Structure 1
């Protein structure tokens, strides 16, 4: 007898006589040890002489607009989701390399066994996002938090951090902030790929404000790995709910 894990769910047809189950719910928490990472939860409003800093919550809110626009087949929304996806991946890779170098310094301490410091009262934040990229950004923030913890541990035990790593540490917060600010460059103008093909006035405004969408994105050859199910356009068939993203 086959086990449950052998079931090919794509072959199971929906049953008309069964009620659909309710939406899935679960708890996701982000735990932060440092005030540097904590400050990027809400960010900072624009103040006199200080620019706005977009926090994780503002990033997630803006992504809702992007996600909905991508559902309506807006190629600019797909383009911006790609920027977000690649930005998160690139910044996480940078933080991972920096973390490895910092941990190697800790391991080089002769005669000492040093564990990375943690807060006595870490902040736990409940994450209730409607977009998978918001959770990826939360992972990015957790990576940054770990880097800060490790750097503070090195300073606490009096170990010298090379200048090259110090420069990266000073820039690591900017890596995160740059990603969180990415959705701010998108403007929702209610356009679709069909509008682009027809050259409507809204498309001209989009080009003026956001540039020319790359052809590979426009044609669907290069798209973000996570996308919402597209709402069917006139004359199109709706998507199978079993393959909805």
Structure 2
């Protein structure tokens, strides 16, 4: 006899926080608001909002969003490699520490703990990169304090690590919502022509849907609700938890 139960399952949720120990990493997180004579600098919250929007648009078959995801993923991998190179350089410096000295990590006695509300994997990857930078800064400051490196080297390491993250945010900041689908591009309609005029033509393998980011969502071609700009996703930062999306069948 078959059982007839209605299973009202909700979304999977997880509470995730980030702990930072250095003012340098905290400034990267916050960014900078524009004021007279000073331009704004995107912080992690702005970057996350952009990646959330890009992911949503990629799910609605926007080839420009897929193109942006591929470019951001490549930028993330480059930044991760750059941060690893800085860390390995520092590890070689640490070898100068006498074996008779045991030096523990320097941790902030009052670190800042931040809740994470992230709807995209590219957002999480950037947060992981920020934690690597936070660790690099801590170790670099300690190396300078203990005379393993001079001030010039210390500042160079800290600035080089920050540049990797700000360059990533700059890549995200260049994204603009195109408002087209692959069907529009195939029909060469008015929306497609306007998008091409503004943003150029995506690479053919991306336009055909052959090359996508490994974190690209399944494409939903029916019943999609368009989003005009990033403002619709900015409100996500007010949610109280992180939603973990379960895999969906490809359309």
Relative to the length of structure 2, the TM-score reads 0.81
Residue equivalent to 1:210: 199
1:203 and 1:140 map into 2 onto residues whose CA distance is 36
Residue equivalent to 1:39: 27
Residue equivalent to 2:77: 89
Query: Which string of whole-angstrom CA distances, capped at 9 and with x for unpartnered residues, describes residues 70-123 of structure 1?
Result: 111000000101111111121111111211221221232124222331111111
* 1:186 equivalenced with 2:175 (yes/no): yes
1:16 and 1:209 map into 2 onto residues whose CA distance is 54
Local SS of the residue matching 1:52? coil
Match of 1:106 among 94, 99, 106: 94
Residue equivalent to 1:128: 117
* Cα shift at 1:217: 1.0
Relative to the length of structure 1, the TM-score reads 0.83
Residue equivalent to 2:45: 57
What residue ranges of structure 2 are gaps of 5+ in the alignment? Answer: 224-245
* Cα shift at 1:226: 0.8
Residue equivalent to 2:68: 80
Change (3 A) 1:62 1:33: same
Residue equivalent to 1:195: 184
Across the two proteins, how many residue pairs are aligned to each other? 225
Residue equivalent to 2:236: none
For the 8 Å contact 1:191–1:202, the answer to whether it is kept is: yes
Change (3 A) 1:84 1:16: farther
Local SS of the residue matching 2:113? strand
Bigger relative contact order (CA 8 A; separation at least 6): 2
Change (3 A) 1:114 1:197: same
For the 8 Å contact 1:63–1:134, the answer to whether it is kept is: yes
Change (3 A) 1:242 1:60: closer
For the 8 Å contact 1:103–1:150, the answer to whether it is kept is: no
1:90 and 1:65 map into 2 onto residues whose CA distance is 22
Local SS of the residue matching 2:12? coil
* Cα shift at 1:16: 8.1
* 1:221 equivalenced with 2:245 (yes/no): no
1:71 and 1:29 map into 2 onto residues whose CA distance is 27
